[in-house]
Chain A
Amino acid sequence: MTNAGTAASAQIRADALQRPPPIRNRDLPLLSFRAVSKKFTDGTEAIADVSFETHAGTIVSIVGPSGCGKSTLLRIASGLSAASAGEVSLDRTSVGYVFQDATLLPWRTVRRNVELFAELRGVQKAERQRLCREAIALVGLEGFENHYPNALSGGMRMRASIARSLTMKPRAFLFDEPFGALDEISRQRLNEELLRVFLVERFGGLLVTHSVYEAVYLSSRVLVMSARPGRIIADIPVPFPYPRAPGLRFEAAFAALAGTVSEILQKASE
């Protein structure tokens, strides 16, 4: 179904890959948490004393037991929630935020959905349309511009959701279990797509996920959080260079690393 679209977009991606944009201020942290805690008004402590930094051109994954405050952490990073204590620094003028639910407006076509953020920020129509075309091409949704969300599969909705954030040219990209609701094959395919987009756009990504394999496959570092109140109990570097081939998932080194992460995660969940 997507053959015609992906052929054209693969060409665009290939062009873009030949000249990756320079990474600005590689050494300066893009996002930093310093001793951040969050206590809700009902007294629940979601996260406690969380400190870490992420840099442009890297993807950092966060795994942890259910309810450990991973999503809260992203909400704090985006500014949707305020921290109770500690310090967060992030340039919020160009942040992409993808939720677990694609949150597309059902009454808008894919094109109009992707245009939404630029529209909210008052970007001129011609520029908006250009950004929208680029983003749709980047996620391989050409040919589906005039479809309504209810005519798309879950994977395609998520692509549209990612495209919508890409129009902002985000330097920092927050992902809250974006592929959690997808079947395994769609999930793997979208993981590969995401890496391709990542290599084109070179944003700094912070990804919350339930899947250890997804975390290891996508990221440069995996942070493991403890059960609530969530603390970071491990910071594991992932040494595999980008671009990563889909076959990496079946290599021994990959399995070993995923095993290590799983073990720590299991201990954290007890």
Chain B
Amino acid sequence: MTGNDREHPAAAAVTSAGPDHGDGKRPERPWHNLARIWGPPLLVLIALNGIWLLLTYVLLEERQRFLLPPPQDVVRNGLLNWRNLSEVLEGLWSTTQVAMVGLMIAIVLGVALAILMSQARSIERSLYPYAVVLQTIPVLALVPLIGFWFGFTFWSRVIVVVLFSLFPIITNTLFGLQSVGPGMNDLFTLHNAGRFSRLWRLQLPATMPAMFAGFRISAGLSVIGAIVGDFFFRQGQPGIGRLIDLYAQRLETEQLFTAILFSSILGVVVFWSFGLIGHRVVRSWYDPTRGPA
């Protein structure tokens, strides 16, 4: 439907004058759409900046102002000063690498474990409790240990990321694999489908929406994991977590704000990218508001 609209703008214009199509989607002008998507968060941003300015200039005296520097100072000192900015960007790049490598490992490991658990109740029963433990132990407390054991290298940071992001991938993928209805399973049984065929043709496609939802959650967590690891590991190549710690100690709040801003942007970008990939993979058959057909 949407593909057609895109290919025939004239047809879309004609139909937009007509009544609703029954699928609830009214064709709209692109700028209208843009305003609808970007307008509300933009308004919130402006409001937040207003509150920020208010706090800085009304609540804080001049000598306390370093606690919450006004936004224009953050922009000037953090974003427009190339020396400061490049330091943050380098840290960001190193954090991105750690987060992405860790996330990829978590995806491969998580999906593999979920598939394994989906194949036999006994495997699920023996492994799942440990996956839950992984989620409930304070990973923060483990981080220094990982540093002692594996050194303060790139790879120990990656391990922290994996610990942070593994669980949602396992649970979501497993949930999806097990969501196949009994009717579908009967169908495959009737035609003597083997274990692999059932996995490949039935369970894996069925788990796609849930699996990508898990990837998206873990994508956000991977960035947090990378920053947390970095925060604790004071050696090796510094990432943005290390910089955050440093700026905080030096009371360089403008740069601190810049670092926080960039780490949030990284998290958002990664989260969105995985949302987009997931949407592209399943959009032809899966409507998140209605589920599969």
Q: Which residues of A contact B (CB under 8 A)?
A: 78-80, 95, 97, 99, 101, 103-108, 116-117, 119-121, 148-150, 152, 157
Contact = CB atoms under 8 A, between A and B. Distances in A.
A121 B285 contact: no
B190 A97 contact: yes
Interface residues of B, number: 25
B183 A120 contact: no
Given A103-B183, A106-B293, A148 B190 contact: no
Contacts of B191: 117, 120-121
Contacts of A79: 190
A150 B292 contact: yes
Across chains A and B, which 4 residue pairs bring their CB atoms closest together, nearest first? A150-B293, A106-B292, A149-B293, A120-B191
**Most A-side CB within 10 Å, residue of B188, B191, B286:** B191
Given A78-B190, A120-B188, A101 B286 contact: no
Majority SS at the chain A contact face: loop
Given A78-B190, A79-B190, 4 more contacts: A120-B192, A120-B197, A120-B201, A149-B293
B189 A80 contact: yes
A99 B186 CA distance: 10
Interface in B244-293: 282, 284-287, 290, 292-293
A106 B188 contact: no
A95 B192 CA distance: 12
A106 B286 contact: yes
A107 B183 contact: no
Contacts of B183: 99, 101, 103
Interface string B57-86: 000000000000000000000000000000
Interface of B: 181, 183-184, 186-193, 197, 201-202, 205-206, 208, 282, 284-287, 290, 292-293
Nearest to B194: A120
**Most A-side CB within 10 Å, residue of B187, B191, B197:** B187
Contacts of B192: 120-121
Contact of A150 (B181, B202, B287): B287
Nearest to A81: B186
A80 B190 contact: yes
A116 B202 CA distance: 11
A120 B193 contact: yes
A95 B186 CA distance: 14
Nearest to A99: B183
Contacts of A119: 201
Contact of B285 (A78, A103, A120, A150): A150
Nearest to B292: A106
A101 B185 CA distance: 13
A41 to B, nearest CB: 16
21 contacts: A79-B190, A80-B189, A97-B190, A99-B187, A103-B181, A105-B205, A106-B286, A106-B293, A107-B205, A107-B206, A107-B282, A107-B286, A107-B292, A117-B191, A120-B193, A120-B197, A149-B285, A150-B285, A150-B287, A150-B290, A157-B293
Nearest to A157: B293
B293 A148 contact: yes
A116 B184 CA distance: 12
A80 B202 contact: no
Nearest to A101: B183
Nearest to A149: B293
Contacts of B206: 107
